Amino acid sequence: MEFFEKINGAYFAILTVLAFLVPMMISLIFYLPFNPSFSIFTYYPCDIMAGPTEALIAISTGFILTAIFWFFLTLYIARDLKAQEVNNNMTTLFLITGIITQACFIIIGIFPLDPAISLAYQTHRITASFYFSFLAFNSIFLGYLEYKNAEYSNLLAIIGIITGLFSAIMAIGFVIVEYTPIARNPVVYLSVWATSTFFTLWIIGHGLYFWKKRK
How many angstroms separate the CA atoms of 124 and 118, rounded?
10
What does the pLDDT read at residue 215?
Answer: 59
For every residue of 64-103, which 3-state class applies, written as one string?
A: HHHHHHHHHHHHHHHHHHHHCCCCHHHHHHHHHHHHHHHH
pLDDT digits (tens, 9 = 90+) for 48-68: 999 999 999 999 999 999 999
pTM: 0.94
Domain ranges of the chain: 2-212
What does the pLDDT read at residue 204?
Answer: 97
Q: Determine contact, residues 66/12, Cβ cutoff 8 Å.
A: no
Residue 45 DSSP label: G
What number of CA atoms fall less than 13 Å from residue 38's CA on the CB side? 18
pLDDT digits (tens, 9 = 90+) for 30-40: 999 999 999 99
Residue 180 DSSP label: S
